[in-house]
């Protein structure tokens, strides 16, 4: 028994370089979207059965971390697919930019004539380094009772994401809508957010051998499938805002 107690103490207090650890689940609260739609945009959408739209991506839009392991083109393709499903006529963004470059005009009324486009959907911001901090974690007893605990020092840091859209009515050169949507990690019961948590809030997972632990980096929460789903859902939410 003495040897067993020594092993347990070593795991809890020395296993992470003298820092105590515990197994717990992380839960965060979703950040609410920020949305605005002008009356002129609502009127245009009511009058136009299948409005044409083009996705515009400024050169320095993305704030994706350097550790991001997926091409942003997949994200933009996800947006355009949802626009098509939502009943919009989606213009080719590459051809649109080429026409603008050749015309060398900033007059949106002329852009309307050149491209036959009603709306520009601009990705104003795409940020995969949104910090979420908490000192709370949850454990489940053998009887299934959930207990909330608080770290005495340090905080758990996770990275979420956000995207912000701007809608421009081409014919009138009017910024007619702004929309910001958020991806909050560990905000759903379906998220697998059980980790070994040390006193400083660092997160660890067991390796295949079960002997060593690996520090979970914040950016590892942002992966291609999640981000594609997030951007697709954000676009669906945007369409709902535009049409309701």
Give pTM, 2 decimals.
Answer: 0.77
Q: Does the structure show a pLDDT above 50 at 20?
A: yes
| 17 dihedral zone (left: phi>0; alpha: psi -120 to 50; beta) | left
pLDDT at residue 220, as a whole number: 64
Is the pLDDT higher at 22 or at 223? 22
User: pLDDT: is 54 or 220 the higher one?
Assistant: 54
Q: How many CA atoms are closer than 13 Å to the CA of 179, on its beta-carbon side?
A: 23
Residue range 215-234: average pLDDT?
Answer: 76
Answer yes or no: are the C-beta atoms of 23 and 205 closer than 8 Å.
Answer: no
* Range 185-212 average pLDDT: 82
How far apart are the C-alpha atoms of 231 and 237, rounded to whole Å? Answer: 10
Please write the tens of the pLDDT for every residue from 29-72: 999 999 999 999 999 999 998 999 999 876 544 444 444 445 67
Q: Average pLDDT of 113-131?
A: 87
What is the pLDDT at residue 109? 67
Q: Is the model's pLDDT at 190 over the cut of 90?
A: no
- The pLDDT value recorded for residue 129 is 84
Greater confidence, 190 or 78? 78
- Would the pLDDT of 18 be above 80? no
Question: In angstroms, what CA-CA distances link 99 with 59, 75, 83, 91, 113?
Answer: 17, 24, 22, 12, 11
Percentage of the chain lying above the pLDDT 70 cut:
78
Residues 6+ apart with CB under 8 A from 72: 62, 64, 126
Gyration radius of the chain's alpha carbons: 24
**pLDDT at residue number 27:** 93
Most confident of the following: 1-10, 83-92, 111-120:
83-92
The Cα–Cα gap between 139 and 24 comes to 5
Residues 86-97: tens digit of each pLDDT? 999 999 888 777
Residue 7, C-beta contacts closer than 8 angstroms, at least 6 positions apart? none
Report yes or no: 212 and 205 within 8 Å, Cβ to Cβ.
no
The residue ranges of DSSP E strands in 46-116, in sequence order, are: 52-56, 89-90
Rounded Cα gap, residues 117 and 171, in angstroms: 9
């Amino acid at each position: 028994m003495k040897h067993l107690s020594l092993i347990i103490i070593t795991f809890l207090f020395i296993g992470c370089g003298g820092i105590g650890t515990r197994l717990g689940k992380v839960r965060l609260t979703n950040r609410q979207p920020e949305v605005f739609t002008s009356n002129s945009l609502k009127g245009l959408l009511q009058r136009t059965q299948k409005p044409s739209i083009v996705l515009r991506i400024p050169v320095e839009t993305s704030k994706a971390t350097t550790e991001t392991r997926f091409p942003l083109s997949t994200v933009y393709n996800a947006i355009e697919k949802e626009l098509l499903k939502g009943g919009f006529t989606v213009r080719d963004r590459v051809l649109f930019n080429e026409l603008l470059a050749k015309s060398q005009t900033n007059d949106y009324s002329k852009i309307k004539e050149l491209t036959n486009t009603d709306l520009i959907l601009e990705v104003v911001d795409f940020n995969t380094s949104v910090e979420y901090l908490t000192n709370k974690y949850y454990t489940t007893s053998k009887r299934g009772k959930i207990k909330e605990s608080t770290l005495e020092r340090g905080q758990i840091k996770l990275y979420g994401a956000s995207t912000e859209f701007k809608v421009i009515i081409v014919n009138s050169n009017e910024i007619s809508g702004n929309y910001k949507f958020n991806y909050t990690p560990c905000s759903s019961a379906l998220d697998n957010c059980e980790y070994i948590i040390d006193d400083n809030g660092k997160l660890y997972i067991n390796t295949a051998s079960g002997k060593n632990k690996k520090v979970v980096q914040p950016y590892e929460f942002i992966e291609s499938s999640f981000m594609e789903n997030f951007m697709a859902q954000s676009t669906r939410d945007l369409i709902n805002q535009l049409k309701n």
